[in-house]
Structure 1
Amino acid sequence: MTGTRGARLIQKVSSTRAFARFAPHVVPVLDRTVHRLTRGKVLPSARMLPGLVLTVPGARSGRLRVTPLACMPEGESESTWILVGSNFGRTGHPAWTANLLARPDEAVISWRGRDIPVRARLLEGAEREEVWRVALTFWPPYAAYQARVERQIRLFRLERR
């Protein structure tokens, strides 16, 4: 999608504060509903970016939490994915990041209609910086999200268990 007029427009719109206010209330609900109705075959937001559905127990409650997310698949093997905890450039870390920190070995993703058990690892230091550069190339609005917040956006690598 990068390089097309439509992609640039979507990136520009998704970089705005207005988008950050309404998108978290609309995009995940739509994704979850359509994903459930199509038995994991369709994820509407994946028309813009690759997407998956993360299921992980809540950090405090232990109840399963289901969250549709954009992702960056690494390589062709479909065994590693990067998740960016941008929260659409909103102030706090998204709840799913706390869940992964608390229960990194209990996550499952729905990827292209298949459920895959994964292990999550928070990226730090030089490894994080390298992946962050790739993320900014992959989806330039992440730079606008980071500029709006004082926290460092969390990056996770998910690997098949």
Structure 2
Amino acid sequence: MSFKPTATGTYGARRPGAMVRMVNKFTMRTIVRNGGGRLGRVDALVLTTVGRKSGEPRKSPVAWFPGEDDTWLIVASANGAARHPAWYLNLAARPDEATIESGGRTTEVTAEQLHGEEREAAWRRIVAAQAQYARYASRTDRELPVIRLTPRSG
């Protein structure tokens, strides 16, 4: 499995600020308390990465889409900002050290960034399920990374 990060953009929407961070904390508690599932109109999970600089665990609520063979697809959209979200950079640095909380259980996962036709096919499914991702992509010149999370065995 590979994780080849994509470049940041030169323009994009404003990065989420302090208010969004507060909402994210509430969102994560709701996801964990409800055992995952739907949050509004999207399926959501709590992604725990290891900080690439700090080495500390970092939690983020993330929308997910079903992948093939019991995998999860997530998009590093950052609402269409020019820069990638921190969780994406953490995954790029340590793709084999992530976990997700969904459906009332915690699963160790390995992250793999999709490229080429595989990314395009997944992107079409994601945009068909949630049209706002096309709007996020239109706000920036960076390619929004699509990440596949695969359960680790053992």
Tell me the TM-score range normalised by the shorter chain.
0.7 to 0.9
* Structure 1 runs not aligned, ≥5 long: 1-16
Amino acid at match of 1:58: G
**Preserved CA contact (<8 Å) 1:50 1:73:** no
What is the TM-score normalised by the length of structure 2?
0.80
* TM-score normalised to structure 1 length: 0.77
The one of 60, 63, 66 aligned to 1:70:
63
1:126/1:117 Cα in 2 relative to 1: closer, same or farther (>3 Å)?
same
Q: Identify which of 77, 90, 104 aligns with 2:95.
A: 104
Could you tell me which runs of 5 or more consecutive residues in structure 2 were left unpaired when the two chains were aligned.
1-12
The one-letter code of the counterpart of 2:113 is: L
Hey, what does 1:54 align to over in structure 2? Answer: 47
1:128–1:53 CA distance, 2 compared to 1 (3 A): same
4+ residue segments displaced more than 2 Å: 20-27, 32-36, 40-43
The percent of aligned pairs where both chains have the same amino acid is 35
Q: C-alpha offsets along residues 71-128 of structure 1, whole Å, 9 cap, x if unaligned?
A: 00235x6x30000111112221111101111111111100111000111001111111
Matched, 1:114 2:144: no
Query: 1:1-161 residue pairs with structure 2 within 5 A?
Result: 24-35=20-31, 38=33, 41=35, 46-74=39-67, 79-161=70-152
Cα RMSD of the aligned pairs, angstroms, is 2.3
Q: Secondary structure at the match of 2:26?
A: helix
Amino acid at match of 2:27: D
Amino acid at match of 1:154: P
Given that 1:28 and 1:67 are in contact with CA atoms closer than 8 Å, whether structure 2 keeps it comes out as yes
Gap change, CA 1:57 and 1:21, over 3 Å in 2: closer
Using the TM superposition, give the Cα deviation of residue 35 of structure 1 relative to its aligned residue in structure 2, in angstroms: 4.0
Name the structure with the higher helix share.
1
